[in-house]
Amino acid sequence: MGFKNELISWYRNHKRDLPWRNSTDAYLIWLSEIILQQTRVEQGMPYFLRFSEAYPTVKDFATASEDEILRLWQGLGYYSRGRNMLKTARKVMTDFDGTFPTAYADLITLTGVGEYTASAIASFSNNEAKAVVDGNVYRLLARYFGISTPINSTQGKKEFQALADELLNKKNAGEHNQAMIEFGALQCKPKNPNCEVCPFISSCFAYKHMQINVLPVKLKTLKIKERYFQFYIISNKKNQLIIKRRNNADIWAGLYDLPSIEFENAELSIPKPDNFTNWFKQTPIISAVSDQVKHILTHQRIFANTIEIDINAHDVIMQEGWIWVDFNELKNYGMPKLIFDFLKKIIN
């Protein structure tokens, strides 16, 4: 039947019914593509539904505030994506008269839209002949054709893109790209793919040569940094606590968290009032100390616990950026998932 026809046949029989696939609206496709970057479909689906309901058009999105966007984004990670989306929506309003572009040449000019995302939106919304290459496509191509060039090397990126371009069904680019991605996601999975029911079993290099667990090859370049924090839940008798907005030079940029101290090692598990007495006019009383938790980010491992302090507001020496917030208003502030989890008992 040939690779392209076999692929399309499989896709039409096995594809998932995803809401963004039922539309050629470039705005909704963009919304789904940005949300699904670094995010599984199962995790991203509720966010897509939440955003598309709150902001059904790019104009609605463009008029939102950054705090509103980050609040809806809470828990997805990579918060710069949310901020870049707001920049893009506003650029669409000013530079494209409020109509979300469908041409690759226009899409690639938008903030946060790289080659893959521009190709995906252009092909899905306008059937433009641009081949998409994501992790699923890398895996399928590497295994089927037996390519051992590292997928995260400069040469690998060029090689895989060239092959994807060559394979592209230019008359049916959108469906072909969807099929390539879906096949990698559902059939040619990273671990334990069900090769016995794969339509390409007779022609797959990796299956023939028992390299399913070897391909694709990826260079190990990631260095994990460990960081240790104590976060302080400082509350008063008026059911208020102190939060602060994080700066843009570190993790969770622009979100709100709690007053904190970062340590060089695991000594954070031992609360030491001397570390933060400059925040108070009198020695504070620690009412509770939480267990340490580990929070995993792509490049970092965060180890953190909380120290609860009850004190009169007038005994606090407010630091730069600190604000008092009513307990029942905390849900209105975008926070990292780690902080949100710490405060659940207060927020609820």
Catalytic annotation, residues:
33
Contacts of 30 (CB under 8 A, 6+ apart): 88, 100, 113, 117, 121
Structure tokens at 96: 């494209």
Distance CA 182, CA 177 (A): 9
Distance CA 167, CA 137 (A): 12
Strand partners, 240: 326
Contacts of 146 (CB under 8 A, 6+ apart): 205, 206, 209, 211, 215
HSE-up (13 A, CA, CB side) for residue 147: 24
CB 129 within 8 A of CB 207: no
Any idea which residue has 């917030």 for tokens? Answer: 325
Distance CA 219, CA 207 (A): 22
Any idea which residue has 């599984």 for tokens? Answer: 40
Q: Spell out the alpha helix ranges (H) of the chain.
A: 3-14, 26-35, 41-54, 58-62, 66-73, 80-95, 104-107, 115-126, 135-145, 154-167, 173-186, 205-208, 337-342, 344-347
CB 145 within 8 A of CB 190: no
Distance CA 119, CA 287 (A): 55
CB 335 within 8 A of CB 342: no
Distance CA 297, CA 79 (A): 12
